[in-house]
Amino acid sequence: MTIIRNFVRINFITNPPKQAVSTLLIARRTYSKNGTFDYDLAVIGGGSGGLACAKEAVNNGAKVAVLDYVTPSPQGSKWGLGGTCVNVGCIPKKLMHQAALLGEAIHEATSYGWEIPAVDKVKINWSTLTESVQNHIKSVNWVTRVDLRDKKIDYINGLGEFKDPHTIVATLKNGSTKELTAKNVVIAVGGRPHYPDIPGAVEYCISSDDIFSLSHPPGKTLVVGAGYIGLECAGFLNSLGYPVTVLVRSVPLRGFDQQMARMVTNEMEQKGVHFEYKCVPLSVEKLESGQLKARWFNNETQKQHEDVFDTVLMATGRYALTKQLRLDLAGVSCLSESGKLVAATEQSNVPHVYAVGDVLEGRPELTPVAIHAGRLLARRMFAGGQQQMDYDNVATTVFTPLEYGCVGLSEETAVQRFGTENIEVYHAYYKPTEFFIPQRNIRNCYLKAVALRDAPQRILGLHFVGPVAGEVIQGFAAAIKCGITMEQLSNTVGIHPTVAEEFTRLNITKRSGKDPNPASCCS
């Protein structure tokens, strides 16, 4: 590599700059650090995990290419570089959630003395909202591309697939192909929304791929699915003034603590969201008016129901984008039934093929998880790193109208692992100061700590439903990683008046049967 650098430096002096640059490109194209492949690392997928891995690899001397291509949704939605989180996930979702909170704040402001003319006529302008959200997303897309250019990462806007274990073929937008070789490959393609196999689902329904750039107000909306994506969308749409019905097949927020999930849905119901439980969709039909007639079946009552909506949003899970990769040609066979890669340490059954992010089986489908795993993987590949990704005790938040933040085990999982007699659950309802004026509903402001019963009562999980839950739970996530106990938590002095301090005041256990309601804000 030193010889190549010296040759290019001499050539730059003795030849015109254009020829020197051409020579440099040829040298870079022909030789990677190992001297055999075009690249030391090729990353298939330009989302958070893939980009983090690519950037860290370059920081450690590797030559890297990133392939990324977005196939339009069934409704034609497409977006730029950055993956699900930036374009159709965390970022636009949080902005929509913030818009909903601001709408509530406008109405509450009058109780604090703000004189707002015709507050009863305040409404959202959907076009302005989506335009603002999309403008921010496009700015992030641009910054991401510039960052790749500055780091000398080759960005290929093409759909990648394997030709053999070290060769990738990218199909570009114009239909042409580009072939490259890489010593290592990281699969970071993430996933896309799943559509149920019912008439009209693909033809007429939207998903989270479409809602944040929808060209018209959604109006009366049916959300099919009650996972975190479904509930978050239902929550902000309802708060923005659009009537929402949610179809729940089994339980809301499957995989989360179910007591906390009920708190979330209770709050949403009290805010006007209508839930249809134990229901599965049957069909969606487009009427002459342009509206959609949806039919569903209640497995509990064994009755069929129907209603007419302006929008039907499918939130029935996501599938991994592995089928198009031709993994068999690379020898990768460690796939689950769902099409995700089974890889304990991000390494597939083919030693030089890795995966990070949502494409991994049994891993939290969260952007920070993919980012951290991608960085650690790059350090192991190119910097002699030894640290593996720790997928336990990852904090997360569901951005429903009343947010739910958690870290660690749910109460159900803790009981399953350790037994009821070995678990102590501390819990409390609380009164956020922000809810005093005006008098807002506090029935669902609740938190709990799930701990081992024996001293020193190591905490296994913390759960919080209330304002700014994400901000609250983040700091406690570090404490959980450090093995915090109930004694340490109770000896922590809280910041008053905050909602986060409620964790430091937990002293009533479920086992005791005592009333978990506070006597006052300072009790």
DSSP 98-167: HHHHHHHHHHHHGGGT---TTGGG----HHHHHHHHHHHHHHHHHHHHHHHHHTTPEEE-EEEEEEETTE
DSSP class of residue 339 equals S
Strands (E), 188-317: 191-193, 221-224, 244-248, 274-277, 279-286, 292-298, 303-309, 311-314
One domain, residues 186 and 42: yes
With respect to residue 24, please indicate whether it lies within any of the assigned structural domains.
yes
* pLDDT tens digits for range 279-302: 999 999 999 999 999 999 999 999
With respect to residue 521, please indicate whether it lies within any of the assigned structural domains.
no
Query: Tell me, what amino acid is at 414?
Result: A
DSSP class of residue 493 equals P
Residue 359 has pLDDT above 70, yes or no: yes
Which tokens sit at 190?
């993430």
Reference 407, options 310, 482, 331, 499; nearest CA is: 482
One domain, residues 224 and 171: no
Query: Tell me, what amino acid is at 419?
Result: G
DSSP per position, 24-71 = HHHHHHH--TTSSSSEEEEEE--SHHHHHHHHHHHHTT--EEEE---P
**Which pLDDT score is estimated for 439?**
86
One domain, residues 159 and 218: no
User: pLDDT grade, residue 523 (50/70/90)?
Assistant: low
Do the bridges between strand 318-320 and strand 353-355 make them parallel or antiparallel, or are there none, so unpaired? unpaired
Average pLDDT over residues 471-487: 97
Do the bridges between strand 64-67 and strand 39-44 make them parallel or antiparallel, or are there none, so unpaired? parallel
Question: Is residue 392 classed as helix, strand or coil in its secondary structure?
Answer: coil
One domain, residues 176 and 276: no
Residues with Cβ within 8 Å of 406's Cβ and at least 6 positions away in sequence, in order, are 256, 257, 260, 395, 396, 397, 461, 462, 463, 464, 473
Q: Convert 364-401 to b/e letters by CB count within 10 Å (16 or more is b).
A: bbbbbbbbbbbbbbbbbbbeeeeeebeeebbbbbbbbb
Residue 18 has pLDDT above 60, yes or no: no
* pLDDT tens digits for range 122-145: 999 999 999 999 999 999 999 999
Which tokens sit at 421?
């007699």
With respect to residue 517, please indicate whether it lies within any of the assigned structural domains.
no
| Candidates 97, 107, 166, 496; catalytic one | 496
Average pLDDT over residues 394-400: 98
Which tokens sit at 515?
């009333």
Distance CA 212, CA 209 (A): 7
- Give the count of beta carbons closer than 10 Å to the beta carbon of residue 262: 16
How many distinct structural domains can be found in the chain? Answer: 4
8 A C-beta contact, residue 459 and residue 480: yes
**Which pLDDT score is estimated for 518?**
82
Paired with 277 in beta bridges are: 248
Measured between alpha carbons, how far is residue 191 from residues 12, 157, 316, 356, 368 in Å?
45, 18, 13, 12, 16
Q: Pinpoint the alpha helices (H) of 252-329.
A: 258-270
One domain, residues 229 and 322: no
Count, residues in the chain = 523
Which tokens sit at 219?
């109006």
Q: Which residue has the tokens 């969606």?
A: 284
**Which pLDDT score is estimated for 511?**
97
One domain, residues 345 and 427: no
Distance CA 340, CA 375 (A): 21
* pLDDT tens digits for range 19-74: 333 333 333 333 455 569 999 999 999 999 999 999 999 999 999 999 999 999 99
One domain, residues 236 and 114: no
With respect to residue 511, please indicate whether it lies within any of the assigned structural domains.
no
Using the 3D structure, point to which of 391, 418, 439 is the last residue of a domain.
391
With respect to residue 376, please indicate whether it lies within any of the assigned structural domains.
yes
CATH number, domain of 460, equals: 3.30.390.30
Answering whether pTM is above 0.85, one says: yes
One domain, residues 312 and 344: no
Paired with 425 in beta bridges are: 450
One domain, residues 214 and 311: yes
Residue 17 domain boundaries: 1-31
8 A C-beta contact, residue 215 and residue 209: no
Helix (H) or strand (E) holding 412: helix 411-418
Q: Specify whether 496 is catalytic.
A: yes
One domain, residues 184 and 51: yes
One domain, residues 139 and 218: no
CATH number, domain of 114, equals: 3.50.50.60
Distance CA 185, CA 65 (A): 10
Using the 3D structure, point to which of 391, 426, 442 is the last residue of a domain.
391
With respect to residue 487, please indicate whether it lies within any of the assigned structural domains.
yes
Measured between alpha carbons, how far is residue 399 from residues 196, 200, 466, 469 in Å?
25, 29, 10, 8
With respect to residue 513, please indicate whether it lies within any of the assigned structural domains.
no
Give percent of the chain with pLDDT exceeding 70: 92
Of 12-21, 183-192, 263-272, 444-453, give the lowest mean pLDDT range: 12-21
One domain, residues 335 and 306: no
With respect to residue 123, please indicate whether it lies within any of the assigned structural domains.
yes
